[in-house]
Each structure stands twice: as C-alpha cells, then as structure tokens.
Amino acid sequence: MAQKRALAVHDISCVGRCSLTVALPILSAAGIETAVLPTALLSTHTGGFTGFTYRDLSADINSISDHWYAMGLSFDSIYTGYLASVGQIELVAALMERFGANALKLVDPVMADNGALYTGFSDDYPIAMRRLCGMADIIIPNMTEAFLLLGEEYTPGPYEKAHFEGLIRRLSAVNRSIVVVTGVYFNSVDLGAAVYDPETDEVSYCFDKRIPGTLHGTGDVFSSAFLGALLNGSSLIEAVGTAVCYTRSTIETTFAVGKDTRMGPCFEITIPEYIAMLGLDRRGNIVGC
C-alpha cells in the first residue's frame, strides 16, 4: 500500500501538548507522511498559562505555498486546525484551493469551547471559518463551534436526540460536507461523537464513558486519530469509533499519571494502543501481511 501524505496546518505551542505537537506524532504513528505548515508560534498554549509569547506566522504562508507548488508537491489530505486570524483563514483557503483538488480536506474549526470564543478571536471570526468549512470534505466542530458556525445561540447539554440531529443536518447543509461533532451527550454518563453523511442521510454515534475534568488538547488528539484511521482505510464510523476510544483512553491515562494537566494529554503513552486499533505493527505494515 502506497504511503499517504498529509499536510497539517496548525500552530506550534512549544510547551503544552496540542496542535502540531499532537497532530504530527499521531499521524506519523498511523504511518502517514506528514508535512506541516505552522500558523503561529507560542511559548505555551493558552489554556491555563499566562504570560505566554505569541508570533503570527501568516507572512510565511504564501512563500511556503509557492515553493511547494514549484516542487509539484501534492497531498492526500489537508488538515487544518488553529488559525490565527480572519486574514490567515483567507490565506489557508487559497492554499486549499491550490493543493486541494485531489486531497481529502478536513477542517477542525478550532475557535471555541464551553460556550465561548477563545481569547483573541473577534466576532467575525466564525463567519470567516464558516467559509473555510464550506471548502472542506469533512468538518469536526465541538458543540460550541457547531452553534457558532450556524450563527445560533449556544445551549449546553445534555441534548435531545431529535434536536441534535436537526442541528447536525443543518450544519451539513450550510457547509455541504460530512460533519463529525465532538462533545455530544444525551445523559450524564456517556460522552462521544456523532457523524452525519449527507449521501446516506444517516446520523451515527459512538459513545464512551465520561471522564470528569478538563484537559486542553483532546480535540487535537481526536481529530488526528480520526484522520489517521480514515487514511488507513477505516469507514467514517470506524474512524470515529477509533478516535473516541483512543481519546478516552488518553484522558484516563493522563489523569492517572497525575502530573500538571496544563501540559496536555499524555497521548505518547497510549500511542501503542492507537497502533493496535489501526491493525498496524511498528513497521507501519498491516499485521499479517
């Protein structure tokens, strides 16, 4: 099987596992050659740290894109995460147009959680992100981001199933894409994700036990694990199931380790579980081949 090549477009937080420091190792563990396009450089992520440094890397995007284009590079997938500004979203949209014709385009619209936009984003940011999501084959918002993309007022869960399925269908209609929503729950015991495929008009779910607590970077673990599974031939619901199980195991392991949770999820410890879930050995070959 030919090795797939993905492009991960995310920030680099030098300390605190999230974004590129999560996406690159997880996709690599899945046997995916992963090119990176850093969108910003931070001394730490913004979840729980103060005094962090920040550098927007928008000025480098076009020159990097031009070099790749001159090289004739192509990608099997383009995977976007944290984008620093409305202007940067427009730059990434142009890059997606240039390289995305034959690529699976996955947009994780990283901008909000728990009912609020992240620090530093303006009110017009969700509108710009909505346009980028319209270019994607698959989008992976959390519940807060789903409401923002629809321009609807956020309501916390637990959710009624019929109400949620109306929301995910509206989101797919607006963005003309497959939608995977994370942080879905209908009771206080289970937490997971849902996927809607407009071709079949079916909503499917994968739940696991809820683990109390907050941990920055788990969305990046989920999205990266999902893409790695998908590029290894998993179906949509299989990839969602792998991502849910791996993310839950990583969260559980992180709290068991007992270190400063601001440092993010201890996904390195659970990487062997992920490889096993994909049916891959450490050489990146299908087991038994």
Report pLDDT digits (tens) over 93-145.
999 999 999 999 999 999 999 999 998 899 999 999 999 999 999 999 999 99
For 2, list phi and psi in degrees, rounded to 5.
-65, 140
What is the b/e burial string over 205-234, where b = at least 16 CB atoms within 10 angstroms of the residue's CB?
bbbbeeeeeebbbbbbbbbbbbbbbbbbeb
Is the pLDDT at 286 greater than 50? The verdict is no
Residue 48, pLDDT score: 86
DSSP states of 175-197 as a string?
HTSEEEEEEE-SSSSEEEEEEEE
Buried-exposed string 116-137: b where 16+ CB fall within 10 A, e elsewhere:
ebeeebeeebbebbbebbebbe
| Token pair recorded at residue 33 | 């050659």
pLDDT tops 80 at residue 225? yes
Give me the chain's average pLDDT, please: 95
Q: Pick the range with the lowest mean pLDDT from 45-54, 87-96, 268-277.
A: 45-54
Where residue 165 falls among pLDDT bands split at 50, 70, 90? very high
pLDDT per position as a tens digit, 179-208: 999 999 999 999 999 999 999 999 999 999
- Topology given in CATH for the domain delimited by 5-278: UDP-N-acetylmuramoyl-L-alanine:D-glutamate ligase (3.40.1190)
Whether 211 has a pLDDT exceeding 60, the answer reads yes
pLDDT at 138: 98
Residue given tokens 């996955």 in the structure block: 106
3-state secondary structure of 51: coil
pTM: 0.95
pLDDT in tens, 14-35: 999 999 999 999 999 999 999 9
What b/e sequence results for 147-163 when a residue is b if at least 16 CB atoms lie within 10 Å of its CB, and e otherwise? bbbbeeeeeeeebeeee
The DSSP H or E segment spanning 42 is strand 33-44
> CA-to-CA distance for 132 and 109, rounded, in angstroms?
9
The band of 281, judged by pLDDT with boundaries at 50, 70 and 90, is low
| Residue ranges covered by each domain of the chain | 5-278
Give the separation between CA 269 and CA 255, rounded to whole angstroms: 12
> Is-contact 49 14, C-beta < 8 A?
no
